[in-house]
A and B are shown apart, each in its own frame.
Chain A
Amino acid sequence: MATTTTAGAGPAARPHQAFNPLRRPLAALERQAPLGVVLMVPGLLLLLVFMAYPFFLGIYLSMTDSTIGETGSFVGIRNFAALLSDGIFLQTVRNTFVYAFFTVPFKLGFGLALALVLNNKMPFRNAIRAGVLLPWIVPTALSSLGWFMIFDPVFSPISWLLRQLGLISHNVNFLGDAYLAIASVCLANVWRGIPFFGIAILAGLQAVPQELHEAAAIDGAGAWQRFRAVTLPVIRGVVLIATLYSIIWTFADFQLIYVLTKGGPANQTHVFGTYAYQIGLNATQIGQGAAIALYMFPILALFAIVLLRFVRGQEE
Chain B
Amino acid sequence: MVGSGTLRHRFLGVYLPLAGFLIFLLFPFYWMVIVSLKPTNDLFNTANNPFWVQHFTLENYAYLFQKTAFLSWLQNTLIVSVAATAISLFCSVLIGYALARLNFPGSNVLALGIFLAYLVPDTLLFLPLAQVIAKLHLYNTYWALILTYPTRLIPFASWLLMGYFKTIPKEIEECAMIDGMSRLGGLTRIILPLALPGVLSAGIFSFTLSWNEFLYALIFMSTGAMKTIPVGTVSDLVKADVLFWGSLMASAVLGSVPVAFIYSFFVENYVQGMTAGAVKG
Residues of A within 8 A of B (CB): 29-30, 32-37, 39-40, 42-44, 46-47, 49-51, 53-55, 57-58, 61, 110, 113-114, 116-122, 126-135, 137-143, 145-150, 155, 157, 160, 191, 194-195, 199-200, 202-204, 210, 213, 223, 238, 241-242, 245, 248-249, 251-255, 258-259, 272-273, 276-277, 280-281, 286, 289-290, 293-294, 296-297, 300, 304, 307-308, 311-312, 314-315
Q: Which residue, of A36, A120, A139, A300, has the highest number of chain B Cβ atoms within 10 A?
A: A139
A residues near B98, Cβ cutoff 8 Å:
35-36, 39-40
CB distance from A39 to the nearest CB of B (A): 4
**7 extra A-B contacts, CB within 8 A, seeds A241-B281, A248-B119:** A36-B107, A57-B131, A58-B125, A61-B131, A139-B214, A191-B25, A223-B2
Q: Is the CB of A157 within 8 A of B51?
A: yes
Say whether chain B's binding surface is mostly helix, strand, loop, or mixed.
helix
B116 and A304 form a contact (CB under 8 A): yes
**Nearest B residue to A121, CB-CB:** B1
10 contacting pairs across A/B (C-beta < 8 A): A55-B124, A116-B2, A120-B1, A129-B271, A134-B29, A137-B260, A242-B279, A254-B214, A314-B280, A314-B281
CB-CB nearest 4 A-B residue pairs: A252-B121, A36-B104, A43-B91, A273-B123
Fill in one digit per residue for B114-155: 1 if any A CB lies within 8 Å of its CB, else 0.
111101111111111111100000000000000110110011
From residue B256, how far is it (CB to closest CB) to chain A in Å? 4
- CB of B182 within 8 Å of the partner chain: yes
Return the chain B residue nearest A135 by Cβ.
B25
B60 at the interface (CB under 8 A from A): no
Across the interface, which residues of B come within 8 angstroms of A254, CB to CB?
122-123, 214-215
When the two chains form the complex, which single residue of A114, A145, A286, A311 contacts B281, counting CB atoms closer than 8 Å?
A: A311
8 Å CB contacts to A: which residues of B74-124? 87, 90-92, 94-95, 97-98, 102-105, 107, 110, 112, 114-117, 119-124
Q: Does residue B230 face the partner (Cβ distance < 8 Å to A)? A: yes
Q: Is the CB of B249 within 8 A of A33?
A: no
The answer to whether A35 and B102 touch across the interface, beta carbons within 8 angstroms, is: yes
Q: Are B25 and A195 in contact (CB under 8 A)?
A: yes
**Beta-carbon contact of B263 and A252 below 8 Å:** no
> A215 → chain B, closest Cβ, in Å?
14
Taking a contact as CB atoms under 8 Å apart, the answer to whether A36 and B103 are in contact is: yes
A286 adjacent to B256 (CB under 8 Å):
no
Q: Which of B16-24, B62-70, B168-176, B193-201 contacts A (4 or more CB under 8 A)?
A: B16-24
Query: What are the residues of chain A within 8 A of B164 when measuring CB–CB?
Result: none
A272 to B121, CA, bound (A): 11
B123 touches which of A34, A191, A293 (Cβ 8 Å): A293
Q: With a CB–CB cut-off of 8 A, which chain B residues contact A143?
A: 28-29, 32, 252, 256
Residues in chain A near residue B97, CB distance under 8 A: 39
B117, A130: Cβ atoms under 8 Å? no
Known A-B contacts A36-B98, A145-B248, A191-B24; the reply to A122 vs B92 at CB < 8 A is: no
